[in-house]
């Protein structure tokens, strides 16, 4: 699984512009996180079709960064996020993004972007 990071200007319509580009290309978003800090914004998203998302953004000359995500299934209870964060930190891994991509019963599926996905997979096994 992969995600895209798009840096935006903090002004009305920026997220909509990206969402419209992806929607017109038939790309469904599995998860989205967006925020503004001052006059800048950022959107991170997990598309269901990474190839189509890449192509749509390139065609529109939208710059983006792409990251490999590590997925992990954890119990949906207090302290689980702390355990994940501590394991990554203790391994010297820098957390870049974290998404909730699924909930099923007492389990939560997380998708995590870190600076070394291969190492994170081992740490979170």
Could you give all domains of the chain from N- to C-terminal order, each with its CATH number?
2-67 (3.30.2130.10), 69-123 (3.30.2130.10)
Mean of pLDDT values over 30-35: 94
Mean of pLDDT values over 84-106: 96
Mean of pLDDT values over 102-123: 96
Cβ atoms of 89 and 106 within 8 Å: the answer is no
pLDDT band (50, 70, 90) for residue 16: very high
| pTM of the full structure | 0.89
**Alpha helix locations (H) across 1-111?**
14-24, 50-59, 80-90
pLDDT of residue 72: 96
What b/e readout covers 23-34, taking b as 16+ CB neighbours within 10 angstroms?
A: eebebebebeee
Mean of pLDDT values over 54-72: 97
């Amino acid at each position: 699984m992969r995600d895209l990071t798009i840096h935006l200007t903090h002004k009305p319509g920026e997220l909509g512009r990206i969402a419209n580009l992806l929607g017109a290309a038939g790309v469904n978003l599995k998860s989205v996180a967006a925020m503004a800090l001052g006059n800048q914004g950022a959107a991170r998203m997990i598309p269901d079709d990474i190839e189509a998302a890449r192509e749509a953004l390139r065609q529109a000359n939208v710059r983006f960064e792409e990251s490999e995500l590590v997925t992990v299934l954890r119990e949906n209870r207090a302290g689980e996020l702390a355990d994940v964060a501590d394991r990554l930190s203790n391994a010297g891994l820098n957390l870049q993004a974290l998404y909730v991509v699924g909930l099923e019963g007492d389990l939560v599926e997380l998708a995590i972007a870190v600076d070394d996905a291969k190492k994170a997979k081992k740490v979170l096994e």
